[in-house]
Amino acid sequence: MTKFSAFNLARNAFSSSTKWPQQWRAPQPRAAYDAVIIGGGGHGLGTAYYLAKEHGLTNIAVLEKGWIGGGNTGRNTTIIRSNYLYDESAGIYEHSVKLWETLSQELNYNVMYSPRGVLMLAHNVHDVQSSMRHVYADRLNGVDNEWLSPEECKAFCPPLNISQDIRYPVMGGALQRRGGVARHDAVAWGYARAADKLGVDIIQNCEVLRIDRTPDGKVCGVETTKGSIKTAKVGVVAAGHTSVVMERAGLRMPLESFPLQALVSEPVKPVFPCVVMSNTIHAYISQSDKGELVIGAGTDQYISYSQQGGLHIASHTLEAICELFPQFRRMRMLRNWGGIVDTTYDRSPILSKTPIEGLFVNCGWGTGGFKATPGSAQVFAASMATGEMHPIAAPFSLDRYQSGRLIDEAAAAAVAHCWRSRRAPPC
């Protein structure tokens, strides 16, 4: 792997950047590995990296049915924040934010982490009360969060419309200044480069067909489109398709999968200084490094593996954005897409060992997966290496559905986690 520096960047500039070597290998799978990671997104590649770097497990394979970063990692809106309500959520997301702050230096790859601030708007009395509760809870957990008046929101984000005559008037907002954005592709590529350097095999276009088990039920390998691979440890990190993969091991997961839509505008000069979210109207917006306005919608109301969601979801989101930011009404939208997110019944992720010895699972992030990438990967790697769940990951184990010890982040976990309330019939 090439180590990036000012010197080789300048040198390759004279060749129009045509002489860069391959950044990671394209190996064929070996007959056996110490551990196999199913899923080549940010979480899966990060898990492999931390297994190799921090636990010395270099005989590892990452199996991806398509191309790395081609699933949810490449279909998200790249928001980073840790202003969650419950202690368990604040723990893992704050752990992630701290890793985000030094990730580019650690990976020797610019992930474009930009702590430009995340402003979460309140539009009614309930929103104000809920936001204030979050502010106080976050401060008790050592997470930065502060309440802003409508005028302070306007000062922080000048394009915002704070008129009281609009459908959803702004009554204030909760601001996490350390929140921001990063580049999703760069996160996957950075982890891939770093893991490959440590000896991890990244195998693309390799779908897992079956997870093999011994007669006494332990994991003993996987059957793939590129042949059989023996291993005693398997970590499933397959985002919205986790339930499908886990069924191939004979385990049913408490998950539902939904299309989550996003869209981008034509590129413009820097006009939007931060990230603005609104749980009430299910919309959030930021500006990418390429100048595009990145707009996120909520999940569809119906479970599906379709990567093109309902048109009315995106239309509703754009209507809300144009009301909050009238200057964007004449902007043209270039493209939209949908990724498959898996949601749990308490709207919080699952990081857990399973009843099957040697099988671990990382899933159920809904819309919160990208922001948790480094923290989730690090604690999941520690759990796989030791066989026992890391203290930060332990609250998110599968057994909480048996004990009733649910976290229930609900709308605190991002706009798309409100799907149940949207689907519920009127009382």
Q: What is the mean pLDDT of residues 417-425?
A: 40
Which pLDDT belongs to residue 410? 65
CA distance linking residue 54 with residue 143, whole number of Å:
26
Q: Is residue 199 part of a domain?
A: yes
Residues 251, 395 within the same domain? yes
State the maximum Cα–Cα separation within the chain, in Å, rounded to a whole number.
Answer: 68
Q: Does 263 lie in the same domain as 249?
A: no
Residues in Cβ contact with 168 at an 8 Å cutoff, skipping those fewer than 6 apart = 123, 278, 280, 281, 320, 323, 324
| pLDDT at position 17 | 80
What CATH number is given to the structural domain containing 237?
A: 3.50.50.60
Average pLDDT, rounded, for the chain: 91
Q: Are residues 266 and 401 in the same domain?
A: no
The domain in which residue 376 lies consists of 24-78+184-255+346-422
The last residue of a domain, from among 318, 343, 368: 343
The CATH number linked to 331 is 3.30.9.10
Quick one: which H or E segment has residue 44? helix 42-55
Q: Is residue 240 part of a domain?
A: yes
Q: Is residue 95 part of a domain?
A: no
Identify the residue with better confidence: 347 or 215: 215
Judgement on whether residues 339 and 359 belong to the same structural domain of the protein: no
Closest CA to 167 of 276, 320, 327, 312: 320
Task: With 0.85 as the threshold, say if the pTM is over it.
Answer: yes
Check whether residue 323 and residue 384 sit in a common domain: no
Residue 330 is assigned to a structural domain of this protein: yes
Domain final position from 343, 359, 391: 343
Give the mean model confidence (pLDDT) for residues 299-314.
85
- Concatenated DSSP letters for 368-411? -TGGGHHHHHHHHHHHHHHSS--TTTGGG-TTHHHHT-----GG
Of 401, 340, 346, 391, nearest to 369 by C-alpha is 340
Q: In whole angstroms, how large is the CA radius of gyration of the chain?
A: 21
Residues 99, 103, 107, 113: is their CA dihedral positive or negative?
positive
Domain-located, residue 282 = yes
Residue at 53 is within a domain: yes
pLDDT recorded at residue 427: 29
Instruction: Say if residue 227 is in the same domain as residue 287.
Output: no
Number of domains into which the chain is organized? 2
What tens digit of pLDDT does each residue of 227-253 get? 999 999 999 999 989 999 999 999 999
CA distance 255 to 325: 35
What is the rounded distance in angstroms from the CA atom of residue 366 to the CA atom of residue 27? 32
More reliable by pLDDT, 279 or 79: 79
Does residue 109 fall inside a structural domain?
Answer: no
Q: Which of 319, 343, 367 marks a domain boundary?
A: 343
Instruction: Give the closest residue to 338 by CA, choosing from 368, 299, 286.
Output: 299
Q: How far apart are CA 295 and CA 19, in angstroms?
A: 36
Residue 413's pLDDT band (cuts 50, 70, 90): very low
**Claim to verify: residue 278 and residue 302 sit in the same structural domain:** yes
pLDDT, tens only, 116-126 = 999 999 999 99
Query: Has residue 57 been placed in a domain?
Result: yes
Distance CA 181, CA 276 (A): 11
| pLDDT recorded at residue 113 | 95
Both 250 and 308 in one domain: the answer is no
- Is residue 377 domain-shared with residue 417, that is, in the same domain? yes
DSSP 323-346: HH-GGGTTPPEEEEEEEEEEE-TT
Q: How far apart are CA 415 and CA 297, in angstroms?
A: 8
**One domain for residues 30 and 66:** yes
DSSP code string of 268-284:
-SS---SEEEETTTTEE
250 with 312, same domain: the answer is no
Q: What gap in Å lies between CA 57 and CA 35, rounded to an integer?
A: 8
Mark whether 295 and 337 lie in a shared domain: yes
- For the CA atoms of 403, 404, 407, 409, what is the dihedral angle to 10 degrees? 150
